[in-house]
């Protein structure tokens, strides 16, 4: 029975932290563009330029 005096306030504190985190995320536009990440996987990445080799040395070695 005494454990309830610990668990109920602890649960309320955790609930308060979760509500605060949700409100912070909404106010800081964390939920604005939910489709961008889902669509970005469909497109190819930008091509990477090939590395240029130094042509002055001997390449036969």
Residue-by-residue pLDDT tens, the chain, 61 positions:
899 999 999 999 999 999 999 999 999 988 887 777 777 777 777 777 777 666 665 555 5
pTM: 0.55
Q: What SS3 class is residue 41?
A: coil
**d(C-alpha 34, C-alpha 10), whole Å:** 33
Q: Residues 6 or more apart from 25 whose CB is under 8 A from it?
A: 31
């Amino acid at each position: 029975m005494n454990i309830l005096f610990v668990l109920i306030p602890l649960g309320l504190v955790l609930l308060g932290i979760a509500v605060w985190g949700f409100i912070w995320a909404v106010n800081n536009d964390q939920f604005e563009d939910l489709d961008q990440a889902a669509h970005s996987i469909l497109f190819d990445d930008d091509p990477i330029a090939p590395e240029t080799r130094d042509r002055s040395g001997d390449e036969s070695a």
